[in-house]
C-alpha cells in the first residue's frame, strides 16, 4: 500500500470538525485511506457503511431521515455519499443535535463544493479534504519538497536526471493505484476503458439527468485531445452537435467527477493584453492516454503530444503537492495576445507569483525562457521565482530569479 500524505489532513480535520468529507476520483484510494484511519483510531469506535452496497443504498433512499437516526452511536464512516444527496440534510440534523468532532467521515467521488445540497446544508459543520490520484512522491515513497522550496524562492535540485524513459512510462500508466499493479500497457488500458465506461454509465446518472448520456463518453474522449490547450466550448459543442449551454453543463459534470480540470488564466488589472480563456487538463494522464490510444511508442513519435501530456502530468503533480502545503495556493496559466505563455503560475494569499514552464527536451537555449521573462516583467514585484523544468542534468541559473531545473526535482 502506498503512503497517502493527505492522511494527516483528514486526521486534523476529524479532531475538531463534526463532518469530514474526503473527495476525489473513484478508485483513487479513498476507501483504503478511510479503512486505514479507522483501524488506526480504533475500529470498535467506528461503523463503516458504503452506499455502493445496493441494499444499504435502497434502505437509505427509502427513508433518509430514519436511516441516519437509526445509525449506531459510534462514529460513522459513510462511503460514496454523493449517490444519495438526500442524506445531507439528515446528517446536518444529527450534527446539530449532537455536535462532536469527527462524528461523520464521508467519502465521495463527486466534488462536494459543486453539490449545492451538500455544501449548503453542512456549511460550518464540514471540512473537505481532496484526495487526488497518487503523486509521484507517494509512488516512490519520498517526502515532497519541490513546492516547499519554490515557495521559499529556492531553485530545487535533484540527483534524478535524464528521466525520459521513466516519464514515458508514468505518463501512460497514470497514477491510479490499480493500473500501477498491472503487468503491461494493454492491461492498464483495459482498466481505464472499463473505468471511464462505468463512470459514464453510472456515476453521471447518479448526479443528474442528462439528455444525451451517449455523448458524455464522446466528450470525455474529445477533452483528451484538448489537454494542455485553451478551452473552446463553442468548438467542443460543435463537434458533438451541442449548443454552448449544454456543452458547458456537460463539461461541469466531467469536472464534478474529477475527470478534467479547467486551469484559469492569470490576470492583472494593470496589464490588459492577457488572454482570459482557461486551459484544460485531465486529472490523470494514464486515463487520457488510454482514451486516446496513446502508448509509449506513439508518444515518442509525436513530440507535440508528449509535451502536452507532460504539461498535464506536471500540473497534476503540483496540485497534489499543494494539498500538503499549509497556506492556500491558487493555480493559473499565463498567455498574452502575442501568444507568449507560461504553463503554470502559482499565487499565494499575498499575491506572490511563482512560475513554472515545462519542456520535454534535454537541451535548452535562452528562447525557452521567453515566457518566464515576459511574465516576470508583467508581474513586476509580485514575481518571486521562475523555473523551467526540462529533462536535463542539473539546476542552472538563467538570469535574475530564473532557473532551469531537471524535471526529476518534482519528486526528489
| Residue 48 vs residues 10, 107, 138: alpha-carbon distances, Å | 16, 11, 26
Model pLDDT, residue 330: 97
Q: Which of 95, 112, 130 is the last residue of a domain?
A: 130
Q: How far apart, in whole angstroms, are the C-alpha atoms of residue 105 and residue 84?
A: 15
* 277 within domain boundaries: yes
Q: Which helix (H) or strand (E) holds 35?
A: helix 30-41
* 108 within domain boundaries: yes
DSSP-assigned states of every residue in 52-102: TSHHHHHHHHH-HHHHHHTS-SSEEEEESGGG-TTHHHHHHHHHHHS--TT
Q: Which helix (H) or strand (E) holds 127?
A: strand 126-130
**Cβ atoms < 10 Å from Cβ of 71:** 18
| Together in a domain, 96 and 243 | no
Model pLDDT, residue 115: 63
Residues present in the chain in total: 412
Model pLDDT, residue 160: 85
* 109 within domain boundaries: yes
Model pLDDT, residue 412: 86
Paired residues of 332 in beta bridges? 345
| Residue 209 vs residues 89, 204, 274: alpha-carbon distances, Å | 21, 8, 37
Counting the structural domains of the chain, the total is 2
Q: Which residues in 309-401 belong to E strands, given as ranges?
A: 330-335, 341-347, 353-358, 383-390, 396-397
Could you tell me the residue range of the domain that residue 115 belongs to? 7-130
Model pLDDT, residue 168: 94
| Together in a domain, 291 and 400 | yes
* 2 within domain boundaries: no
Q: Which of 73, 104, 130 is the last residue of a domain?
A: 130
Q: Which residues contact 391 (CB under 8 A, 6 or more apart)?
A: 162, 163, 164, 167, 359, 360, 361, 362, 406, 407
* 298 within domain boundaries: yes
pTM of the model: 0.94
* 213 within domain boundaries: yes
CB 339 within 8 A of CB 332: no
Q: How far apart, in whole angstroms, are the C-alpha atoms of residue 232 and residue 238?
A: 10
Q: How far apart, in whole angstroms, are the C-alpha atoms of residue 15 and residue 375?
A: 42
| Together in a domain, 110 and 177 | no
C-alpha cell at 228: 494542455
Model pLDDT, residue 289: 95
Q: Which of 74, 99, 130 is the last residue of a domain?
A: 130
| Together in a domain, 189 and 332 | yes
| Together in a domain, 217 and 351 | yes
| Together in a domain, 93 and 140 | no
| Together in a domain, 192 and 233 | yes
pLDDT tens per residue across all 412 residues of the chain: 899 999 999 999 999 999 999 999 999 999 999 999 999 999 999 999 999 999 999 999 999 999 999 999 999 999 999 888 889 889 999 999 999 999 999 999 888 667 656 656 788 899 999 999 999 999 999 999 999 999 999 999 998 888 999 999 999 999 999 999 998 999 999 999 999 888 877 777 777 666 677 788 889 999 999 999 999 999 999 999 999 998 998 899 899 889 999 999 999 888 888 999 999 999 999 999 999 999 999 999 999 999 999 999 999 999 999 999 989 999 999 999 999 999 999 999 999 999 999 999 999 999 999 999 999 999 999 999 999 999 998 999 998 999 999 999 999 8
* CATH number assigned to the domain comprising residue 81: 3.40.50.300
Q: How far apart, in whole angstroms, are the C-alpha atoms of residue 207 and residue 256?
A: 9
| Together in a domain, 174 and 205 | yes
Q: Which helix (H) or strand (E) holds 271?
A: none
C-alpha cell at 167: 516519464
| Together in a domain, 386 and 369 | yes
* 119 within domain boundaries: yes
| Together in a domain, 163 and 298 | yes
| Together in a domain, 169 and 247 | yes
* 1 within domain boundaries: no
| Together in a domain, 333 and 354 | yes
Amino acid at each position: 500500500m502506498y503512503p497517502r500524505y493527505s492522511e494527516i489532513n483528514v486526521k486534523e480535520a476529524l479532531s475538531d470538525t463534526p463532518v469530514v468529507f474526503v473527495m476525489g476520483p473513484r478508485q483513487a484510494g479513498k476507501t483504503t485511506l478511510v479503512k486505514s484511519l479507522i483501524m488506526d483510531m480504533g475500529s470498535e469506535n467506528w461503523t463503516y457503511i458504503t452506499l455502493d452496497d445496493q441494499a444499504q443504498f435502497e434502505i437509505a433512499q427509502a427513508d433518509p431521515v430514519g436511516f441516519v437516526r437509526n445509525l449506531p452511536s459510534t462514529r460513522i464512516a459513510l462511503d460514496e455519499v454523493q449517490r444519495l444527496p438526500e442524506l445531507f440534510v439528515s446528517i446536518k440534523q444529527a450534527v446539530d443535535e449532537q455536535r462532536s468532532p469527527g462524528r461523520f467521515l464521508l467519502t465521495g467521488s463527486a466534488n462536494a463544493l459543486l453539490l449545492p445540497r451538500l455544501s449548503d446544508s453542512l456549511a460550518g459543520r464540514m471540512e473537505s479534504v481532496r484526495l487526488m490520484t497518487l503523486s509521484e512522491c507517494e509512488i516512490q515513497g519520498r517526502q515532497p519538497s519541490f513546492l516547499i522550496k519554490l515557495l521559499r524562492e529556492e531553485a530545487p535540485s535533484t540527483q534524478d536526471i535524464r528521466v525520459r524513459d521513466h516519464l514515458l512510462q508514468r505518463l501512460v500508466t497514470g497514477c491510479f493505484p490499480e493500473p500501477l499493479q498491472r503487468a503491461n500497457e494493454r492491461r492498464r488500458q483495459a482498466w481505464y476503458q472499463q473505468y471511464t465506461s462505468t463512470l459514464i454509465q453510472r456515476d453521471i446518472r447518479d448526479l443528474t439527468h442528462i439528455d444525451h448520456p451517449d455523448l458524455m463518453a464522446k466528450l470525455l474522449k474529445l477533452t483528451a485531445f484538448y489537454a494542455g490547450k485553451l478551452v473552446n466550448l463553442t468548438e467542443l459543442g460543435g463537434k458533438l452537435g451541442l449548443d454552448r449551454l449544454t456543452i458547458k453543463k456537460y463539461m461541469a459534470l466531467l469536472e464534478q467527477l474529477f475527470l478534467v480540470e479547467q486551469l484559469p488564466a492569470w490576470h492583472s488589472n494593470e496589464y490588459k493584453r492577457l488572454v482570459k480563456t482557461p486551459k484544460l487538463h485531465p486529472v490523470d494522464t494514464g486515463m487520457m492516454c488510454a482514451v486516446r490510444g496513446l502508448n509509449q511508442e506513439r508518444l515518442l513519435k509525436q513530440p507535440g503530444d508528449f509535451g502536452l501530456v507532460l504539461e498535464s502530468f506536471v500540473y497534476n503533480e503540483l496540485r497534489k503537492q499543494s494539498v500538503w502545503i499549509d497556506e492556500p495556493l491558487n493555480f493559473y496559466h499565463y498567455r498574452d495576445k502575442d501568444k507568449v505563455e507560461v504553463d503554470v503560475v502559482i499565487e499565494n494569499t499575498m499575491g506572490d507569483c511563482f512560475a513554472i514552464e515545462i519542456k520535454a527536451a534535454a537541451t535548452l537555449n535562452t528562447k525557452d525562457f521567453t515566457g518566464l521573462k515576459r511574465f516576470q516583467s508583467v508581474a513586476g514585484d509580485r514575481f518571486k521565482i521562475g523555473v523551467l523544468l526540462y529533462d536535463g542534468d542539473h539546476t542552472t541559473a538563467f538570469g535574475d530569479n530564473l532557473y532551469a531545473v531537471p524535471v526529476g526535482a518534482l519528486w526528489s
